[in-house]
Amino acid sequence: MKAILFSLLFTFCSLFTFAQTNVSGGIYQNTTWSLSGSPYIVNSSIVVFPGKTLTIEPGVEIQINNQNNTNIYIETRGTINCVGTDAQPIKVHALYDTLNTVAWQGFVCTSSQGGVLNADRIEISNAYFPLSYETIPATLSYTNSKFVRCFQAVTVGTNLNLSGCEFIDNEVGVYGWANFNINNCLFKDNTTALYIYASAFAMSNCSFVDNQIGASFLSNAVDSIVISNCEFLNNGLAINYPNNGRVENCVFSDNAAAIQQAYYCEIFNNEFYYNELAIEACVDANIHNNQINNNMGGLLISNVSSIQDSPSIYDNEICGNINYIVDNNTNKNYSLFSNCFCDLDSAQIEAYLIDGYDDITKGLINYQIYDSSCTVLLGNVVKFGAGVGLEENTFDFSFENPVHHNLQLLVAAAVQQIVLQNTSGQSFNFSATAHNSFDLSRLAPGYYFIVKLDEQNVSKVLVKY
């Protein structure tokens, strides 16, 4: 009796362990791939003929036998229903060489012959084009689906809705022209996660991790681009060319470039830290209320040819950046008042502020000095504007700037006394040591204003180094 029971148990376990269904060729009648027949081994291409339906049940696993053929595809000229559930997604992957992004061709929908492909809550891997449509439907929607190691995971031409999806180690995650609505998705280890021409783009609560390129926009958005409450971690380039919209409440960390080529875009309430470059601000960018701290490069201003097109940069905390806090890579002058650099010493701030004093091809930057809490204004550093240029002084004089120890005034009259003020308003008096020559060696390095020559009131910036 025990022997009979053991034999029956062994037979049942063997059937359960090795149950599989081999499939290939044409489907000429309505067919169901059931969970009980899973996994389905696809040994050559499948074609569902017009008027017929292939239904793939939730939980089914489809294995593509690509040992000798990487051109296998599953085509529908009728209908394929490939819709799983959250608990039982349909899984499709190559049987061999599972690290290859072109181990098989994918599902193909031949619309001209009446083909319909319904796919959702699937996990699909190793396909060249996982879900390829001859004519892309008006709206594609994928929920809680996963695309892994595919060449081009999702191709779209009209409207795309993604929710709870994962794109892992693809050459391209999402490509195409469309109105995009993306929520709660993960993009990881892709060469390019999003490579798109957006009519309108809205994305929230998504994570981009370890991609070479995160989101790259290839043209001006017709409507707008809105990215909110997302995180971008350790990407080569997190966001490229966000335009005509906004980026808000996001975290950018350890990216080579966090935001590059920001045009006509509002960037606010974000955190940037440990990036090679935090933000490249270009034409009509509006950059405010961000924390831009401990990056290699903080804020780069570039690609601005007209002062009317200049970015607005205000109310940011830009502190502790290694190579520069702001690099003015234009010949335009900017007043960056109300931004906090977390340093009480103007000389230290100036050491990390790249403008016309470092490179004569660049414009100048006015700024303010705050305490380390960024709440108390300590002073202003004004390099251009009213009262600063030569023609703006009623008393004509000049000198070589910056100054080390000796200040030599170039002025017609003999000047015996000068008064300087630092950015906190403290005054310093100096008497001439020779004709129009003043020893400033006791003056600490930093930014000062020459406010008086003898009894003549003047206003000029002096940089002491």
The answer to whether residue 419 is domain-embedded is yes
The answer to whether residue 433 is domain-embedded is yes
Q: Which of 381, 398, 419 is the last residue of a domain?
A: 381
- Detail the DSSP E strand segments found in 410-455: 417-422, 427-431, 437-439, 446-453
pLDDT at residue 452, rounded to an integer: 86
Read off the amino acid at residue 265: C
CA–CA distances in Å: residue 60 to residues 54, 104, 174, 395: 13, 18, 25, 87
pLDDT at residue 455, rounded to an integer: 81
pLDDT at residue 382, rounded to an integer: 82
Judgement on whether residues 209 and 160 belong to the same structural domain of the protein: yes
Judgement on whether residues 364 and 291 belong to the same structural domain of the protein: yes
Name the helix (H) or strand (E) containing 224. Answer: none
How many whole angstroms separate alpha carbon 424 and alpha carbon 379?
A: 5
Long-range pairs for 37-45: beta carbons < 8 A, 24 or more residues apart: 39/63, 41/65, 41/95, 42/72, 42/74, 44/69, 44/72, 45/71, 45/72, 45/73, 45/74, 45/75
pLDDT at residue 391, rounded to an integer: 31
Judgement on whether residues 395 and 375 belong to the same structural domain of the protein: no
- Residue found by looking up tokens 């009509």 in the block: 284
pLDDT one digit per residue (tens) for the chain, 465 residues? 444 444 444 444 444 445 799 999 999 999 999 999 999 999 999 999 999 999 999 999 999 999 989 999 999 999 999 999 999 999 999 999 999 999 999 999 999 999 999 999 999 999 999 999 999 999 999 999 999 999 999 999 889 999 999 999 999 999 999 899 999 999 999 999 999 998 899 999 999 999 999 999 998 888 899 999 999 999 999 999 999 999 999 999 999 999 999 999 999 999 999 999 999 999 999 999 999 999 999 999 999 988 888 899 999 999 999 999 999 999 998 989 889 999 888 888 999 999 999 999 999 998 988 888 898 888 888 887 644 432 333 457 888 878 888 999 988 788 999 998 875 567 899 999 999 999 999 998 877 878 888 888 777 778 888
pLDDT at residue 14, rounded to an integer: 41
Q: Which of 364, 381, 398 is the last residue of a domain?
A: 381
pLDDT at residue 4, rounded to an integer: 46
Judgement on whether residues 191 and 271 belong to the same structural domain of the protein: yes
Judgement on whether residues 304 and 217 belong to the same structural domain of the protein: yes
Backbone CA torsion sign across 326, 378, 383, 309: positive
Count: domains in the chain? 2
Judgement on whether residues 154 and 253 belong to the same structural domain of the protein: yes
Judgement on whether residues 432 and 369 belong to the same structural domain of the protein: no
CA–CA distances in Å: residue 85 to residues 53, 63, 107, 146: 19, 19, 19, 13
The answer to whether residue 15 is domain-embedded is no
CA angle 453, 455, 457 (to 5 degrees): 65
Domain with 247, as residue range(s), is 20-381
| DSSP state, residue 36 | G
The answer to whether residue 407 is domain-embedded is yes
Judgement on whether residues 32 and 105 belong to the same structural domain of the protein: yes
Burial of 292 (0-12, 13-18, 19+ CB in 10 A): buried
At 431, which CATH number?
Answer: 2.60.40
CA angle 126, 130, 136 (to 5 degrees): 165
Per-position DSSP letters for 348-402, written without gaps between them? HHHHTEESTTT-TTSPPEEEEEE-TTS-SEEEEE-SSSTTTSGGG-SS--B--SS
Query: How many CB atoms are located within 10 Å of the residue 113 CB?
Result: 14
Judgement on whether residues 459 and 372 belong to the same structural domain of the protein: no
Task: Name the CA dihedral angle for 82, 64, 25, 146, rounded to a multiple of 10 degrees.
Answer: 20
CB 428 within 8 Å of CB 422? yes
pLDDT at residue 73, rounded to an integer: 98
How many whole angstroms separate alpha carbon 203 and alpha carbon 186?
A: 12
User: From the CA atom positions of the chain, what is the Rg in Å?
Assistant: 33
pLDDT at residue 2, rounded to an integer: 46
The answer to whether residue 8 is domain-embedded is no
CA–CA distances in Å: residue 106 to residues 45, 94, 190: 10, 10, 19
Judgement on whether residues 362 and 405 belong to the same structural domain of the protein: no
How many whole angstroms separate alpha carbon 188 and alpha carbon 326?
A: 31
Judgement on whether residues 347 and 429 belong to the same structural domain of the protein: no
Judgement on whether residues 360 and 442 belong to the same structural domain of the protein: no
Whose CA is closest to 103, among 166, 48, 151, 56? 151
How many whole angstroms separate alpha carbon 219 and alpha carbon 230?
A: 22
pLDDT at residue 385, rounded to an integer: 62
Instruction: Classify strands 365-370 and 417-422 as parallel, antiparallel or unpaired.
Output: unpaired
User: Hey, is 80 helix, strand or coil?
Assistant: strand
Name the helix (H) or strand (E) containing 70. Answer: none
pLDDT at residue 388, rounded to an integer: 44
Give residue 39's Cα distance to chain centre: 40
How many whole angstroms separate alpha carbon 427 and alpha carbon 252?
A: 43
